[in-house]
Chain A
């Protein structure tokens, strides 16, 4: 049992870098990851920008030691989870009950798409290897097996809030005494399924996205994976390294308004932030930085902003959407943004929200436009999704 949950290791791969150092450099220098799709084969490549990881499947396979025939979602997951575990520098992982709590929305659908092209010509057609990793859990299990993680291993799919929920579950399993260490986060690769899906909803910006701008016009899809290594107090004390921060609060709520749209007053987001603060025993004025869900759709930013306006009061905390760098990485976004939040605390960084021209006039606050440094005690990270799923995490300085 452990009352406190510490973050001992971080791992990430995204359109702005293949590891923590590269991503941090891009955040500092303001380099966004969106571009015309190179690896994703879609007829929409020239009109819809995406935030692709800048490695081919062959290069990812070489980096991770996995087969290049596997789903890109698994390759991304392995890259980031491995980095997180190495970073935590736990000498003998088998000395602890270590679990793998992952999340994905698309899983191996990049391969299923290939299979469909063939199988629609006849049930005997199509390479069966392409559907072995169709189920969400099969990606997680593959990576857990390769990392020799044998403790509690599961997969959450609550759409775009998925990996915030896996971090929350990892913490709860440690607090309940079921695990000592949890590698928690999520992964998603770009796929025709999601690009076309979001495109039919008409919420993809044809330019680079502009979260929290009055003239925002939708989101850019991204891909990647992000994991944190959560450890109990006892494990933290046994490690010969400084912890990044503490995971102090978390909350999972539901907007219960509409399958794909957020309520105008952002009720679900409001409750998630409020209850995460209560769980952390913090007040709104303790929060130094909010890593926004900030997708750049009209609806999300309005709802999230309304919820912040209702819960917080001036002076407002600094806030930005790092999706202006990474795109919206769906089931990976909560994990990726947990990595950014932990780094914000460790180094005292406030990240910019790129491309802001006209702040939304209805809100009494403006998102950050430049990179800056200051002491950062507490960070609130928001992740919301289809189905009304809303989750907020709070990271705190030791």
Chain B
């Protein structure tokens, strides 16, 4: 696989990621049970009529995609690939509720039309009038990684010069209340900024949408290069260590060559032990930071981590909230993102400064 370059990156999350506020000021503190989207003004990207017709997950997805193109100075793309685990949750719920409450009678088609998983990729194509490759992955904790892998494959096949890869996932109060019964989320609201001090089970729910414009050719304004993606599906952690070691050796690096690990600790005291174990063994002595206190837990949150990693390399700095770690951002040339979703979906994305 050849190196793939991140030309532009845009993200809407609970933090000010869209306008880079996370890198210039303090993070936003929340005490709600679901971290909301910190939505920007959309007026540069769509008119009021378009905006009214789009649900939150769609308008955040489409806007970050359009922003990627704008930042890269291009009008269209050769491929649009996105990942979503939950799809358009708000509209799916609305249609399901109306089926039950109205006993399948006199239903409105709107929420059905807006419920399909491929809506974000489709609306990007429609907005750009783009007839090129277009697809959507919906595979739980790997949905974003599979979108990214597809885009990397396309660029390797030379069937695309550039590709938009990203993800979009939302959370509603209704689904939160259902998922809470599975123990996915903390029973009480906590401050997101003290997520890792709670010593309780469960995480804090989040949502986020973002896109990356990828290219097979290097340009001096690129954020970073993607060196490799390794996905390990396993219940239990044992074999993961061996497979990570194999991945690093295939990349011809040692753990010590990694300057920073961004880990998917989510504040669940049991799941986080798995990260501690990896950190004490495979990645001993490698600097690390967490990200889910900023964006919350959702199946495609590794895209937030990629946005963060790409910006740390490009801007040669860490967001101010990581100042206390004492990590010298100037020396960060290679970052490994290690996320794990619900104990089973282990994902490793290795990126580095363009060379």
Contacts and interface: CB of A to CB of B under 8 A. Distances in A.
Interface of A: 42-44, 105, 107, 109, 112-113, 115-117, 119-120, 123-124, 126, 128, 131, 135-138, 140-141, 150, 152-159, 165, 169, 172-173, 175-176, 192-193, 196-197, 199-201, 252-260, 267-268, 271, 385-389
A44 B106 CA distance: 12
Interface stretch (B38-46, B120-128, B269-277, B316-324): B120-128
Contacts of A105: 116-117
Given A192-B104, A387-B119, A116 B134 contact: no
A252 B126 contact: no
15 contacts: A43-B104, A128-B181, A137-B138, A137-B143, A141-B139, A141-B233, A152-B231, A156-B136, A158-B118, A159-B117, A159-B118, A173-B153, A196-B107, A254-B80, A389-B122
B96 interface: yes
B133 A253 contact: yes
B50 interface: no
Contacts, number: 169
Nearest to B146: A154
A23 to B, nearest CB: 27
Contacts of B104: 42-44, 192, 196
B interface majority secondary structure: mixed
A360 B112 CA distance: 30
Instruction: Give the interface size bracket for B toward A.
Output: 35 or more
A192 B102 CA distance: 13
B113 A388 contact: no
A252 B122 contact: no
A257 B126 CA distance: 6
B108 A200 contact: yes
B66 to A, nearest CB: 14
A165 B135 contact: yes
B140 interface: yes
A259 B140 contact: no
B131 A267 contact: yes
A173 B135 CA distance: 15
A254 B143 CA distance: 21
Interface of B: 80, 85-87, 95-97, 99-101, 103-105, 107-109, 112-113, 115-119, 121-123, 125-126, 128-140, 142-143, 146, 150, 153, 156-157, 177-178, 181-182, 231, 233, 299
Contacts of B177: 123
A256 B130 contact: yes
A256 B131 contact: yes
A81 B96 CA distance: 29
B169 to A, nearest CB: 11
A253 B99 CA distance: 33
A137 B96 contact: no
A172 B118 contact: no
B99 A196 contact: yes
A200 B177 CA distance: 29
A153 B122 contact: no
A173 B104 CA distance: 42
B118 A135 contact: no
Given A154-B146, A256-B129, A389-B122, A113 B96 contact: yes
Contacts of A200: 107-109, 112
A197 B109 contact: yes
Nearest to A138: B140
Nearest to B107: A200
B125 A259 contact: no
B195 to A, nearest CB: 24
Contact of B86 (A124, A135, A268, A387): A135
B131 A112 contact: no
B139 to A, nearest CB: 4
B97 A255 contact: no
Contacts of B95: 193, 196-197
A35 to B, nearest CB: 19
10 nearest A-B residue pairs (beta carbon): A387-B122, A197-B112, A137-B139, A200-B109, A136-B138, A137-B140, A157-B117, A254-B134, A254-B125, A387-B118
Contacts of B137: 154-157
Contact of A119 (B138, B153, B178): B178
Most buried by A among B87, B130, B138, B143: B138
